[in-house]
């Protein structure tokens, strides 16, 4: 135990961080990043120990002014090791490849949400499940508990449906079309989306070009009650918050162990009060799922998990070998979605087809279309302009904004990338397009991105524009053009790929 | 990329931590604990991103005043994601159970030492090796690289010998007796030790009761040149520093994967310029090694690893079923070791026997005793008082101190714990004794600890003292007594353990 004098600071390092002079802990059993229990006359708390050379003097403990009410500068405080989190034992079981019992999984989820686990402990859990996997029974328990630990939405009308993409394909803005089609048919579809994590635009980023997306649970409810639908950012609704904490460990490792993928998606459905959901599983080079066989295996797991937690799941294995539609980047995608609602005939077929197919499944699941006739019903709603009207309602209810594609502003700097030769487009790289859009500034620069003029199979002549880059910054545009010239995300070849002659 | 204004702070969070207002990163691709590259007109550095609500304003980046020379308050700085460490790819290979190539292991070790790996990345590596293990070839590469990355000691005289315990048994102060015996025989033995990690006293803590132990490499060299030996804290010598960083992740998880155990021990031997070493492997309940078979398996690995890195290793599987000697806690152990040097006849047999056996192996390996006669030579040196004289020399050369057991001060508060009944001592729990000594204040309170009056097999009467607790704090003594009464670390039973009668 260390006896120190409180030194109140205007700092917040998260996890109730406290700061001690490094000379005070040399040779003791205390180390930076230990979880410590700090006791004062005004109360105690558990925090994380950081060290400083100078910020606080020897014998002092730097404490954020907010942590304990009424604590005074110079007051004596005691610091000792916090009790280890209960889940450490269970994490070690998983490290040793054992199957965890329900209450063991509940303890881990609870302590994740209560922020009782350090990065070291949390990483050990994630890496262990990555290596050893989890049985479906464990995934069910994890999903249920995660779904119970944050905000929970309840709805008066049923069924409540949802559509969710596991991601990996750029330009995937279908939700802006699918959601209003379904809502327009009278079905409740309270859609939450994420912002970009590694992509150039998450659905929430795209929608934010047109209207507010950071609604809390109450505001979201109001919008859905008024319009049947919404398109908001999941982050501010606080559904299944364990997921957000787990992602912070997965992101730097670029791993997404399947048990966490399954439970993170489905826990949010539990919390959002969803009855039916369609899971979009894009398959193809550069997506998360390499081939159809893997896609089917994952689909079966989603369906089984859904059955065991009481949510009806249907999966759509979709083509993800190149971007959906032609626009990649928040404003470009928002504009493309609005244009597709305004004039479906002129919109890219890949976008229309995907949006209609997913809507069709939901219309059939929701009981407003007979099996097999979902696409026709969806088409009617889209082509009649009803989907556009519904979308405008949603935008306005959320606090918007822009309801006309002509009002969407794109980056004021742009440059066209021409084809280096005559031939056919043989591939459009998901990864390459994403990287270039990000180099141009997306998703933070909402007006930055890539607009494809061609897709796979198009015939082009030398000098034809392959795609146009947009950015709000001249410098970033230049940097994106440079990257584009280096990685060639759109590949053009003549029909004769290589001549082999007799000599 | 974020453009921010530098705000210089007197804070040092380790890893070049920088602090941004949390509102500046909401909805961006930056997250707390990201590794970021900060560029200014005066230079750039890689650091870790923290957030604050208030400590810096929106648009500001809090930077420690020390990181960049000449940087000014208010200057514009750019923040972006740092390039990922090269080793992330190799860590993922290990996560997937693959065998790493030499340059892949070198990259990981180098980036650990350069502090380029976050806790998340480092934990992934440690947990993956814990689960998948490593082949001997990988361990060899890791050990060699770790041995090359810090301070390296070279010696004029050879052989240079060493003795090292893998730990796990309390009261293990044999090195204070073994080292002077060996040094007295003219053999160079530059012994470095650790402080307590989970125990009540590391050898460095014990030695520090008598003299300085935080010598740097130069000072250590001077002591060894003057006396043939030393007993210093490894932490200040900076041998194989990768190990110290790895331990920071292993400690909170209470794991010590065998590949790391092997390479951490042997890398320090490479760095210290050791030719021969004896590895003490205590076996028994409450130690790291549960049974002799496990002890042999580990011993064979140490020997093979030694062969492949050019260090002669001999292992001693030692009895570790109860504390060594009677004293547990820094001052108590220092006093017991000094008393054993002053009067070996009266010292606990377990301590004398272990110290002599390990010295004997080193005397034989070092060529000053014939095979089989090492114990006799060691005994002569100890019983003639030469070892005591040598020990005093070492203490004084290190900057000491105390050279007489009567001068060692113990905690001014103490309490005896009596036997609850007549009978025999059937066990003395390593874990229990350690926990009680720590509750009394060890190792930070050097005068705190446990002095056993009895060991396993002793006959006792009701009311006889089993052990005495010492502490410098009345309150901590009380708390240790309470713990002792609850866990009963010394168990006494009558010869008849249970009566079974015919009814």
Say which CATH class B2-81 falls into: mainly beta
Among A201-215, A296-310, B254-268, name the one with the lowest average pLDDT.
Answer: B254-268
Give me the residue label for tokens 């020997």. B303
Label residue B472 by pLDDT band (50, 70, 90): very high
Joined tokens for residue B62: 């809090």
3-class DSSP state for residue B232? strand
3-state secondary structure A152-163: CCCCCCCCEEEE
When comparing pLDDT for A223 and A287, which is higher? Answer: A223
Per DSSP, B235 falls in state G
Question: How many Å is the Cα radius of gyration of chain B?
Answer: 26
Do the chains contact at A34 and B95, CB–CB below 8 Å? no
Q: Which residues contact B248 (CB under 8 A, 6 or more apart)?
A: A31, A32, A33
- The CATH code of domain B161-236+263-405 reads 3.40.1030.10
Nearest CA in chain B to A441: B1
User: A312 — phi, psi (to 5°)?
Assistant: -80, 120
Between B116 and B409, residue with greater pLDDT: B409
Task: Give the distance from residue B74's alpha carbon to the nearest chain A alpha carbon, in angstroms.
Answer: 19
Q: What is the tens place of the pLDDT at every residue in B251-306?
A: 778 788 899 999 999 999 999 999 999 999 999 887 888 888 999 999 999 999 99
Q: Give me the residues of A, 444-483, that contact B with CB < 8 A.
A: 444
A499 touches chain B (CB under 8 A): no
The CATH class for the domain spanning A87-148 reads mainly alpha
Give me the DSSP letters along B339-352. Answer: HHHH-GGGS-HHHH
CB under 8 Å to B51, separation ≥6 — which residues? A12, A13, A14, B19, B20, B21, B22, B25, B32
Distance of alpha carbon A190 from the chain centroid: 16
pLDDT at A495: 63
CB atoms within 10 A of CB A82: 18
- Catalytic residue annotation of B: 256
Query: Which residue is associated with the tokens 């180099």?
Result: A439
Question: Which residues have CB under 8 Å from A227's CB, separation 6+?
Answer: A183, A390, A393, A394, A397
Read off the pLDDT band of A102 (50, 70, 90).
very high
pLDDT given at position B487: 92
A150 closest CA partner among A181, A192, A180, A178: A192
Distance CA B91, CA B244 (A): 19
Among B131, B196, B445, the strongest candidate for a mutation testing the A interface, having the largest count of A CBs within 10 A, is B131
Closest CA to B4 of B14, B12, B30: B30
Cα(B470)–Cα(B437) distance, rounded to whole angstroms? 8
Is B211 annotated as a binding-site member? Answer: no
Chain B contact for A114 (CB, 8 A cutoff)? no
Cα A352 from Cα A366, distance rounded (Å): 21
Nearest-angstrom CA–CA distance, A84 and A217:
34
What CA–CA distance (Å, rounded) separates A325 from B11?
Answer: 49
Residues of A in Cβ contact (< 8 Å) with B194: none
Query: Taking Cα atoms as reference points, which of A213, A195, A201, A173 lies closest to residue A443?
Result: A201
* Closest to A167 measured CA to CA, from A129, A194, A205, A127: A194
CB contact under 8 A, B121 and A92: no
Q: Is B279 in contact with B269 (CB distance < 8 Å)?
A: no
d(CA A207, CA A411): 17
- The DSSP line for B366-383 is TTSS-TT-HHHHHHHHHH
Query: Model confidence over B170-225: pLDDT tens digits?
Result: 999 999 999 999 999 999 999 999 888 778 999 999 999 999 999 999 999 999 99
Question: What's the CA gap between A237 and A272, in Å, rounded?
Answer: 9
Is A267 marked within a binding site?
A: no
Residue A471 assigned ligand-binding role: no
Query: Quick one: how far is CA B170 from the chain centroid?
Result: 13
Question: Cβ separation of B29 and A444 shorter than 8 Å?
Answer: yes
CB contact A443 to B (< 8 Å): yes
Burial class (CB in 10 A: 0-12, 13-18, 19+), A81: middle
Element (H, E) at B59: none
Q: Which helix (H) or strand (E) holds A99?
A: none
Classify burial at B59, counting beta carbons within 10 Å of its beta carbon; exposed 0-12, middle 13-18, buried 19 or more. Answer: middle
Say which CATH architecture domain B413-493 belongs to: Alpha-Beta Complex (3.90)
Beta strands in B106-250 (DSSP E): 161-165, 189-193, 229-233
- The enclosing H or E element of B409 equals none
Rounded Cα distance, A186 and A181, in Å? 9
Average pLDDT on B328-341 reads 98
DSSP letter assigned to residue B238:
T
B193 labeled binding residue: no
- Pull the structure tokens for residue A193: 């989306």
Is the pLDDT at B85 greater than 70, yes or no?
yes
- The ranges of chain B annotated as CATH 2.40.40.20 are 2-81
- In CATH, the architecture of A161-401 is 3-Layer(aba) Sandwich (3.40)
Enumerate the residues of chain A whose CB falls inside 8 A of the CB of residue B53.
12, 66
**Closest Cβ opposite residue A128 in set B32, B88, B131:** B131
Q: How far is CA A436 from the centre of its chain?
A: 20
Strand order across the B312-319 sheet: B161-165, B276-283, B312-319
- Kindly report the nearest CA distance between residue B53 and chain A, in angstroms: 6
Question: Looking at the predicted structure, is the pLDDT value of residue A221 above 90?
Answer: yes
Q: How many residues does chain B have?
A: 503
Q: Is residue A197's pLDDT more than 80?
A: no
- For residue B496, the model assigns a pLDDT of 60
Evaluate if residue B28 carries a pLDDT over 80: no
d(C-alpha A203, C-alpha A234), whole Å: 10
Check residue B291 and give its pLDDT.
87
Q: A1, A131, A437, A477: best mutation site toward chain B, by most B Cβ within 10 Å?
A: A131
| Residue A52: closest CA among B234, B110, B62 | B62
What's the pLDDT at A27? 63
Is the per-residue pLDDT at B449 higher than 70? yes
Share of chain B above pLDDT 70, in %: 97
Is B119's CB within 8 Å of A121's CB?
A: no
Residue B461: closest CA among B428, B498, B420: B420
CA distance B357 to chain A (A): 30
pLDDT tens column, A126-183 = 999 999 999 999 999 999 999 999 899 999 999 999 999 998 899 999 999 999 999 9
Q: What is the pLDDT of residue B195?
A: 84
Kindly indicate the confidence band of residue A498, based on its pLDDT and cuts at 50, 70 and 90: low
Q: What is the DSSP letter of A84?
A: P
B107-123: pLDDT as tens digits: 999 999 988 888 889 99
SS3 annotation, A393-433: HHHHHCCCCCCCHHHCCCCCEEEEEECCCCEEEEEECHHHH
Residue B55 and residue A11: Cβ atoms within 8 Å?
yes
Q: Distance (Å) from the C-alpha of residue B406 to the closest C-alpha of chain A?
A: 26
pLDDT at A250: 87
Of B10, B50, B132, nearest to A13 by CB-CB distance is B50
- Gap between the Cα atoms of A33 and B253, Å rounded: 13
Interval A185-210 mean pLDDT: 92
* Cβ pairs A/B, distance under 8 A: 137
Task: State the catalytic residues of A.
Answer: 256
Contact B252 A34 (CB under 8 A): yes
Please give the residue that has the higher pLDDT: either A68 or B181: B181
Q: Is B198 annotated as a binding residue?
A: yes
Domain with CATH 1.20.970.10 in chain A: 87-148
pLDDT in tens, B351-364: 999 999 999 999 99
Subunit contact A119:B119, Cβ cutoff 8 A? yes
* pTM exceeds 0.95 for this model: no
Delimiting residues of CATH 3.90.1170.30 domain(s) in chain B? 413-493
pLDDT mean over A440-455: 94
SS3 content of chain A, % helix, strand, coil (to 5): 40, 20, 40
Distances (CA, A) of B2 to A442, B74, B118: 13, 15, 21
Q: Which residues of A touch B233 (CB under 8 A)?
A: 27
Residue B364 CB neighbours (<10 A): 20
Task: Please indicate whether, in this complex, the C-beta atoms of B54 and A12 are within 8 angstroms of each other.
Answer: yes
d(CA A359, CA A379): 9
Inspect the interface and report whether the beta carbons of A52 and B195 lie closer than 8 Å: no
Q: How far is CA B32 from CA A12, A14, A404, A445, B480, in A?
A: 12, 9, 37, 21, 40
User: Which among B14, B35, B54 has the least Cβ separation from residue A51?
Assistant: B14
Beta pairing class for B35-40 and A18-21: unpaired
Backbone angles phi, psi at A303, to 5 degrees: -70, -45
Q: Check whether the bond before A159 is cis (ω within 30° of 0).
A: yes
- Mutate which of B132, B252, B438, B480 to disrupt the A interface (most A C-beta within 10 Å)? B252
Q: Where in chain B is the domain with CATH 3.40.1030.10?
A: 161-236+263-405
Residue B69 predicted with pLDDT over 90: no
């Amino acid at each position: 135990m260390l006896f120190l004098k409180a030194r109140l600071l205007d700092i917040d390092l998260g996890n109730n961080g406290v700061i001690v002079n490094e000379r005070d802990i040399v040779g003791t059993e205390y180390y930076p990043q230990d979880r410590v229990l700090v006791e004062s006359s005004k109360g105690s708390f558990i925090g994380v120990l950081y060290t400083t050379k100078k910020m606080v003097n020897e014998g002092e403990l730097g404490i954020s002014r907010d942590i304990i009410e009424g604590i005074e500068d110079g007051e004596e405080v005691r610091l000792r090791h916090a009790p280890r989190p209960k889940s450490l034992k269970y994490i070690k079981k998983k490290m040793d490849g054992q199957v965890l019992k329900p209450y063991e999984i509940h303890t881990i989820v609870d302590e994740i949400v209560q922020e009782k686990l350090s990065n070291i402990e949390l990483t050990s859990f994630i890496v262990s499940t990555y290596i050893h996997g989890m049985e479906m029974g464990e995934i069910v328990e994890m999903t249920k508990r995660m779904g119970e630990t944050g905000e929970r939405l309840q709805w008066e009308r049923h069924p409540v449906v949802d559509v969710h993409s596991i991601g990996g394909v750029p330009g995937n803005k279908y939700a802006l079309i699918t959601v209003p089609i379904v809502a327009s048919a009278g079905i409740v579809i309270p859609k939450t989306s994420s912002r970009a994590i590694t992509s150039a635009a998450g659905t929430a980023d795209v929608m934010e070009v047109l209207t507010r997306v950071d609604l809390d649970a109450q505001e979201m409810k109001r919008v859905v009650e008024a319009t049947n639908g919404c398109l908001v950012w999941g982050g501010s609704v606080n559904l299944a918050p364990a997921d957000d904490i787990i992602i912070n460990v997965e992101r730097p490792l670029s791993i997404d162990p399947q048990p966490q993928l399954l439970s993170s998606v489905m826990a949010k459905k539990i919390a959002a009060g969803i009855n039916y959901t369609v899971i979009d599983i894009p398959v193809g080079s550069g997506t998360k799922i390499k081939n159809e066989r893997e896609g089917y295996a994952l689909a079966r797991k989603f369906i089984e998990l859904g059955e065991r937690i009481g949510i009806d799941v249907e999966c759509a294995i979709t083509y993800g070998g190149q971007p959906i539609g032609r626009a990649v980047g928040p404003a470009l995608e928002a504009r493309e979605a609005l244009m597709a609602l305004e004039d479906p005939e002129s919109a890219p077929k890949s976008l229309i087809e995907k949006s209609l197919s997913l809507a069709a499944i939901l219309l059939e699941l929701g009981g407003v279309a007979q099996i097999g006739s979902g696409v026709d019903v969806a088409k009617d709603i889209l082509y009649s302009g009803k989907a556009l009207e519904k979308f405008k309602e949603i935008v306005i209810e959320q606090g918007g904004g822009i309801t006309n594609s002509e009002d969407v502003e794109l980056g004021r700097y742009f440059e066209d990338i021409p084809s280096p030769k005559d031939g056919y487009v043989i591939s459009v790289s998901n990864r390459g397009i994403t990287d270039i859009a990000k180099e141009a500034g997306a998703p933070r620069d909402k007006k930055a991105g890539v607009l494809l003029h061609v897709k796979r199979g198009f015939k082009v002549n030398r000098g034809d524009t392959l795609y146009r880059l947009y950015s709000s910054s001249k410098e970033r545009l230049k940097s994106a053009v440079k990257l584009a010239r280096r990685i060639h995300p759109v590949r053009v070849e003549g029909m004769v790929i290589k001549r082999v002659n007799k000599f």
